[in-house]
Amino acid sequence: MRNILTIAVKEIKQDFRDVRTLVFMLAFPLVLMLILGLALSNAFTNSVSLGEMKVLVKNSSSGVLSTAFETFTGEMKKSGIEFVSLKSGMNGVEEIRQNHYASYMELSDSGISLYGNNRSAIEGNVIQGMLQAFTDKYNAAAAVAKIEPAKVSQLFDTDSQSRSGYIKETSILANRQPGSMDYYALAMSVMVGLWGAMSAVRLIRSEITRGTAPRLAAAPVRRSEVFAGKVLGSIVQNFLCVLIVVLVSKFAFGAYWGEHLWLALLLLLTEVVMAVSLGLGVSYLFKGNASSGLIMLFVQLASFFGGAYFPVGDASGSSVTSYITRMSPIYWTNRALLEMVYKPSVSAAWPAISLNIGLAVLLLAVSAVLMRRKEGF
């Protein structure tokens, strides 16, 4: 065990002394997170701000309708909708055509006419919906007036409605949605975790290229201890990089990681273990530079299709793209993180954790068998 820990510490020190490794594993994802998080902030918002809306009104009504409409306009002003009376000499339809007002309405005892234009379609739909609610309420008042005229005013008295419970408002808190910085904090952390495969593919081959493999083989250390120490050191080193990215995104960039940060880190740790196992397995299956090239290609494709650079939707379809997306470790890990943090559903993490651990055990077993068949490392 002592030999394993010694080799692991040596691997960690060696990797962190490499400035290029630190720049690639830390600076690049943090800068990319900051750029994408700021540049695509509008792409992650579902809210639409309409601002204040002005409605031009020609009111020639009288009686109950006029009283009800005055109450209605007073309430709508609180919501940012202002009703402006048509002045003498003004053409309401022309004012709408020039887009000076969101809508134009004519109110008389015989009915209500509403005019809008395509340039204010959203505002027009909002005003039309509110006006429809008003007309429904007025029709109800007209029906009440035929039976109990004294109770008509109660229909338009918002204070009495609030006390009597005529109208009850219930607020439903929707699930929190990730902003651009929140999304890319998760995505970049997952991507850095998969990058462990690129460093792991050089774990054994670097000893051969540096000419230290024969010395290791002749040292009074079992090959299994060297194998375990290198794997452990690579896992710790890569997870520390992921941890730094997570902490910087949370405390420096203000990204949201939910209420179960420990489970998110556990999920990322299993991804790192799987990535290191993948890189080590590929290094034994393919010789020379072919293994590095293959891992680099796999990591880039997994990042692209898995949602590291842009959000991807549900990949449950039968298309080739959906199949490739489902094969990406970044996809299933990032999806589990999003569900765990924003639904929130803690159970969403366990399938991804189980899949990462299962693949890691399989790949490490293959690597161990292939190493034993070789005379050296």
Tens digits of per-residue pLDDT, 230-274? 899 999 999 999 999 999 999 999 999 988 999 999 999 999 999
Residue 166's pLDDT is 39
Phi, psi of 309, deg, nearest 5: -100, -25
| Averaged pLDDT for residues 76-80 | 76
Residue 169 counted as domain residue: no
Is the per-residue pLDDT at 361 higher than 90?
yes
- Cβ neighbours of 316 (radius 10 Å): 8
Q: Measure the CA–CA gap between 334 and 189, rounded to whole angstroms.
A: 9
Do 93 and 28 fall within a single domain? no
Token pair 């949370």: residue? 250
Is the per-residue pLDDT at 288 higher than 50?
yes
Residue 164's pLDDT is 41
Check which CATH number belongs to the domain holding 109 and give it: 3.40.190
Label residue 213 by pLDDT band (50, 70, 90).
low
Q: Measure the CA–CA gap between 87 and 56, rounded to whole angstroms.
A: 9
Do 186 and 314 fall within a single domain? yes
Q: Which of 164, 196, 217 is the last residue in one of the domains?
A: 164
Residue 337 counted as domain residue: yes
Q: Which of 164, 192, 214 is the last residue in one of the domains?
A: 164
Is the per-residue pLDDT at 170 higher than 60?
no
Residue 172 counted as domain residue: no
Do 199 and 290 fall within a single domain? yes
Domain count, the chain: 2
Residue 171's pLDDT is 45
Do 148 and 186 fall within a single domain? no
| Averaged pLDDT for residues 78-89 | 82
N-term to C-term CA, the chain:
20
Read off the pTM: 0.67
> Above pLDDT 70, what percent of the chain?
83
User: What is the average pLDDT score of the chain?
Assistant: 81
Do 91 and 207 fall within a single domain? no
Residue 149's pLDDT is 62
Label residue 214 by pLDDT band (50, 70, 90).
low
For residue 129 the two structure tokens come to 């919906």
For residue 115 the two structure tokens come to 């005019």
Label residue 110 by pLDDT band (50, 70, 90).
confident
For residue 184 the two structure tokens come to 């890319």
Q: Measure the CA–CA gap between 377 and 373, rounded to whole angstroms.
A: 10
Domain of residue 146 covers 53-164
